[in-house]
Chains A and B, each alone.
Chain A
Amino acid sequence: MANELSRRHVLGLGVAGCGAICLAPGLPRAAWALDVGQARGLIDDVVAEINRVISSGESEAAMLTQFEALFVRYADVPVIARSVLGPAGRQASPAQIAGFTTAFQGFISRRYGRRFREFIGGRIEVGDARAVKSYYEVITTAFLQGESPFEVRFHVSDKSGRLLFFNIIIEGVNMLASARTEIGAMLDRQGGNLDALIAELQST
């Protein structure tokens, strides 16, 4: 009930806001709508690729390789890696950042790619997309065998110059925050030594 009420409020504000915007000359409204559509289109492609991989019946090793390729193609890996590294990245050399990015990309694909086993026989459907703060959010629903459907949100941005996703929120759980916690703990365990962390990521 509270939700309906607030939705109505938002709709009301939306109508008022549109009044103001429609009167303001030269606002690129069409471009804005197009961007939401493009963000949804990106996730349509990602989801189609994921669905193709999980229904391909290939070996787990082959699927892991494909997931890494999808991650590199559709996600903004350099920005994700720098964000996950956090303040430790400030003192790092460009070579260390590059080494960390590559090691992180393989680590994350192996760690989460294995979990995609649970998706075999399932599917993901793309729903709504909207602009939030400085990025776009695309809401999808995952249907896994014998499970209640659950919500997966992709955060998409074009600030890298291309439209790419930079975060996934699974039932409220923020994967960027989760990866930051994990990498932070690994770095602490290595006494803050970034090169040691890179070596550990390559071997895990």
Chain B
Amino acid sequence: MAFSDVPLSAVRRCLTPLISVGLMCLAVAGCSAPPPPAVTPDPYEGRNRSVHGFNKTLDQTIVRPSAFGYGGVAPGPLRSGIQNISLNLGLPSDIVNSLLQARPGAALENTVRLAVNTTIGIGGVFDPATAMGIEGEPTGYGETLHVWGMAEGNYVEIPLVGPSNDRDALGLVMDIFLDPLRFTLPTAEANASTAIQILAGLGRRYRYSDTIDSILYDSADSYAQLKLLYLQNRRFQLGQTVENDADFVDPYEDPYGQ
């Protein structure tokens, strides 16, 4: 539990101010987010639906064709190398957030993963850590805000990004501007890192194209379908249980319910 368990004195020194904030929150708020409401409010639905239309057009005209171009040109091992580098570049931020969430075990696992994949995995191109059972604990500021007690708020669909909620949208801004790599990488490397992230994103769009296409283009209401999928899966990731889950219907109680 003590932070002295984490053998990263240098990182710890840099992070001390941030960690104090986290501990303060732990002490004051008890750090438990309220249970999510049965139905996530969507007061911006009109605007969200316009953004959803924009995102679909963007996907159809630029993202999807680029992803298939990339998938057609780059062989599988190259794509998975790019994906591995992108995950590796996310680890410093994962470590910081694990600490902010007072999860030293996750911080340690992410640190060992970063060390193994950066060295043995040759700069993160390969992922020997997973083969060694060190799968890491991907996280971000959205989860940190959740651990600190912030509720998810309203549903939002963000241009270019896709489905989110108030809390995770704020977390995303923090992910971008408080990424430790942002303060350590020189400009050229930072640009390379951005390029890697874009390629990795295209790689995922290509790899999961069946699923993504079916949600976006086969659904009668892709906005509603994507919203349901995102909100339920996000709560699952955060280990949240819903009081009076509106999506839970016992079909035997009232077959025509809702």
A-side residues, CB < 8 A to B, are 1-3, 76, 79-80, 82-83, 85-87, 89-90, 111, 114-115, 117-118, 133-135, 146, 148, 157, 159-160, 166-167, 171-174, 176-178, 180-186, 188-189
Assess the A111–B218 pair: CB atoms within 8 A: yes
Number of interface residues of B (CB under 8 A): 33
Assess the B249–A118 pair: CB atoms within 8 A: no
Which chain B residues in 208-246 approach chain A with CB under 8 Å?
210-211, 214, 218-221, 224-225, 228-229, 232-237, 239
For B221, the closest partner residue in chain A by CB is A185
Q: Does B253 contact A (CB under 8 A)?
A: yes
Q: Does B189 contact A (CB under 8 A)?
A: no
Q: Given A3-B239, A118-B210, A148-B135, are A173 and B232 also a contact pair (CB < 8 Å)? A: yes
Contacts of A159 in B (CB 8 A): 252
For A90, the closest partner residue in chain B by CB is B256
Taking a contact as CB atoms closer than 8 A, the residue among A87, A115, A146, A177 that contacts B228 in the complex is A177
Assess the B221–A182 pair: CB atoms within 8 A: yes
Q: Does B250 contact A (CB under 8 A)?
A: yes
Contacts of B234 in A (CB 8 A): 172
B-side residues, CB < 8 A to A, are 1, 32, 80, 135, 210-211, 214, 218-221, 224-225, 228-229, 232-237, 239, 247-253, 255-258
Contacts of B247 in A (CB 8 A): 174, 176-177
Q: Which 6 A-B pairs have the closest CB atoms?
A: A172-B236, A185-B221, A83-B251, A185-B220, A177-B247, A82-B255
For B248, the closest partner residue in chain A by CB is A174
**In the complex, what's the smallest C-beta–C-beta distance from B31 to chain A, in angstroms?**
9
Assess the A135–B214 pair: CB atoms within 8 A: no
**In the complex, what's the smallest C-beta–C-beta distance from B245 to chain A, in angstroms?**
8
Q: Given A85-B256, A89-B256, are A176 and B251 also a contact pair (CB < 8 Å)? A: yes
Assess the A180–B258 pair: CB atoms within 8 A: yes
Assess the A181–B250 pair: CB atoms within 8 A: no
Q: Given A174-B232, A174-B248, A181-B221, are A87 and B239 also a contact pair (CB < 8 Å)? A: no
For B254, the closest partner residue in chain A by CB is A83
Q: Given A115-B211, A118-B210, A185-B220, are A134 and B256 also a contact pair (CB < 8 Å)? A: no
**In the complex, what's the smallest C-beta–C-beta distance from B136 to chain A, in angstroms?**
10
**In the complex, what's the smallest C-beta–C-beta distance from B97 to chain A, in angstroms?**
16
In the complex, A173 Cα to B257 Cα: how many Å? 19
Assess the A79–B214 pair: CB atoms within 8 A: no
In the complex, A65 Cα to B56 Cα: how many Å? 32
Give 23 A-B contacts (CB < 8 Å), ordered by A residue: A2-B32, A76-B251, A82-B251, A83-B251, A83-B256, A86-B256, A86-B257, A115-B210, A118-B210, A134-B252, A157-B252, A166-B251, A172-B233, A174-B247, A176-B249, A176-B251, A177-B247, A177-B249, A178-B228, A180-B258, A181-B225, A181-B228, A188-B221
In the complex, A87 Cα to B219 Cα: how many Å? 21
Contacts of A166 in B (CB 8 A): 251-252
Assess the A79–B252 pair: CB atoms within 8 A: yes
Contacts of B253 in A (CB 8 A): 134
Assess the B232–A172 pair: CB atoms within 8 A: yes
**In the complex, what's the smallest C-beta–C-beta distance from B231 to chain A, in angstroms?**
9
